[in-house]
Every structure is written in C-alpha cells, then in structure tokens.
Amino acid sequence: MAALAQVCTEGGHYRWQTLGDKPRVVEHWTSDGEHYHFRYDLDSRTSWAT
C-alpha cells in the first residue's frame, strides 16, 4: 500500500524500505499535516515512531 484514502482526511501516504529481507514502513504522512518516521532495530526486535 502506498496511499490510503479516508473519509475524514484527504488521505495518507507511506514510504517503504526493505530492511533485512522484509518490507517495512519507514515514513507516513497525511495531507492534514501528520508526519511520522519509523526506525527498526531488527536484532533486538525494537521499533520507534517519531
């Protein structure tokens, strides 16, 4: 999925990156100003969203 349409907003977008051998979302943003970055430490099975 690269984009999402919702009734309450004009939509959201996703940027994916292959980390290890699996695709993961590394960025998400919406047309109303939300913006998140995701980081992953696959060895310790930890993720962060900022």
| Angle made by CA atoms 5, 8, 10, in degrees to the nearest 5 | 45
pLDDT in tens, the chain (50 residues): 555 555 555 678 999 999 999 999 999 998 889 999 999 999 999 999 99
Q: Where are the domains of the chain?
A: 3-49
Token pair 């292959």 is at which residue? 18
**pLDDT computed for residue 8 by the predictor:** 58
Q: Which two tokens stand for residue 33?
A: 């100003």
Lateral strand order in the sheet of 46-49: 3-4, 12-19, 22-30, 35-41, 46-49
